[in-house]
Every structure is written in C-alpha cells, then in structure tokens.
Structure 1
Amino acid sequence: MNQFTGTCLCGAVQFTASEQPLRIGICHCRDCRRHHGAAFYAAAVFDRHAVTITGTYAAHAGRAFCPECGSSVFARCGDEIELHLGALSNGETLVPTYELWTEQRLPWVQPLPAAQQFARGRD
C-alpha cells in the first residue's frame, strides 16, 4: 500500500500520506497519554512532503485537532508529521516497531513482542 488515508471523528479534517511511513511507534510518556486520554499513543511518522491535510484544524504545541469534534488527528515535529494510527482508515498493516518512554508505561500494559524498547526517547 502506497497511500494511507484518515479523518477526524466528524470527517471535517482529512489527510492522505502518499508514501510508506519513515517509522511506526508507540509512546508511553505522560504528555502523550494526557493529550490522547489513552494508555499510550501510537503513530506512523511520515516526511511532511508526503502528507496532504485538508479541512480546518487547530493546534497546540505541534499537536493538531479538529475544532468541530475535538479529535486529535496528527502532530508536527520538524520535517515530520505523525499520523495517529487510530485516525487512519486503512492502517491495519502498520505495526509499531519501537516503544518510547517505557519507564512511564502503565504497569498493566505489556510490551509489544519484537518492538525495540526505549526507556526514554530514541536518541
């Protein structure tokens, strides 16, 4: 698959990634958990030139969301865009290969088999 698509909950914000992701990962840090209201954050990271976003969105600290339905949809970091796996319509083949901030992982969340584990960031 060379194209990945997705939307927010109400469909007002849409995105298309025209290439394979640079990487796919999970973050367990408290900031990501609070932002998403979930036990962890999963994203496919793409070069920003590979992603087209349509619709009106709002952002805070690089994290974009739909102002209509409140869905968190993507994040920007430098020249990369992180598309949330939960917002992808056809991302079932995207399997995380690493986990970040495992030192903050909730105790009942198990590590992904074969995923590289980082106590903090990847650096």
Structure 2
Amino acid sequence: MAGETVRMGGCACGAVRYEVEGEPYQSGLCHCTKCRKLTGSIFSATANWRRSKFKMDGEISTFDKRSFCPICGSRLFFIFDDAVEVFLGTLDPAPNDIRPMVEVWTVRREPWLPAVPDVRLYDENEVAPSDG
C-alpha cells in the first residue's frame, strides 16, 4: 500500500535483514521467565505484524519458532503461520517509536522497574476476551 510505513531491521553482523510494512497490530513487554532467558535481560519488547507484511533476506536458524542469525546469534523474531513477532531492539534506527500496548507477566516485573503508563497490564499471559 502506498504511503504505509516500512521499518527495516536485522542482526548485529548484517547477514540477516528484514522489513515490516505498516503498523504492528500488537506490541508489548513480557517479564516471563522464558523471555528473560531468551533475551538475557529482565523483559522482552516485541511487536507483531501479519506475515504478509514481513519480508526477510538471509539465512536464519530456528529453535522452537525463535529465529536467530546463525553467524552472530542475534535473536530476531518468532515466525508463526500467519504472523511474525519482532524483537524491537533489532529494528533500525533506535528509537523506533513503537509504544507497548500491553505488559504481561507483571508479577515477574522487577520491583524497581515502573509500569509503562496507559497500557493494559496482565499478571500473567494476556487473556483473550470471552465469547459469552
């Protein structure tokens, strides 16, 4: 679509490059144990786009849907059937102006780290609205 924002990103060594078109349909911070281990940090910051809005160049390695550069080891994104979840720190340039919409696993947020104002907070995983 003409006029849609295109963001580019990639790994630390430049062997893997990607782009996402338009705005993400979801973005957030996660403080769960798995994200802590995965990022080596106290939370992960990600955003989700539909697969049709995602393009990639280069070779990736994947473990449990988590994709990373086999050369430098940069963790890049999760690839799902219909979506991709991008680690925001891999976008060029910083800052990228993508604000979190949700914050999950807040029961594991470090006590000295304040919540992001005006985002939906969940003690654990985000719960989808019920149909009834």
Give the TM-score of the pair, scaled to structure 2: 0.87
Q: Which runs of 5+ in 1 are unaligned?
A: none
Q: Which letter maps to 2:36?
A: R
**Aligned residue runs from structure 1 range 32-111, under 5 A:** 32-90=35-93, 92-111=96-115
What is the CA–CA distance in structure 2 between the aligned matches of 1:110 and 1:48, rounded to whole Å?
A: 32
Which residue is equivalent to 2:7? 4
Q: Which letter maps to 1:85?
A: L
* Alignment partner of 2:17 out of 14, 19, 39: 14
Q: Between Structure 1 and Structure 2, how many residues are aligned?
A: 123
Shifted more, 12-21 versus 83-92: the winner is: 83-92
Question: What SS does the corresponding residue of 1:106 show, helix, strand or coil?
Answer: coil
Which residue is equivalent to 1:28? 31
Counting aligned pairs with the same residue, the percent is 33
Task: Please report how far the alpha carbon of residue 78 of structure 1 lies from its aligned counterpart in structure 2 after TM superposition.
Answer: 4.0
Q: Which letter maps to 1:67?
A: P
Q: 1:78 and 1:108, CA in 2 relative to 1: closer, same or farther beyond 3 A? A: farther
Question: What SS does the corresponding residue of 1:33 show, helix, strand or coil?
Answer: helix
Question: What SS does the corresponding residue of 2:28 show, helix, strand or coil?
Answer: strand
- Give per-residue Cα distances to partners, 1:42-80, cap 9 Å, x unaligned: 011001111001100101111111010010011123421
Q: Which runs of 4+ in 1 moved over 2 A?
A: none
Shifted more, 70-79 versus 9-18: the winner is: 70-79
Q: Which runs of 5+ in 2 are unaligned?
A: 128-132
1:113 aligns with 2:120: no
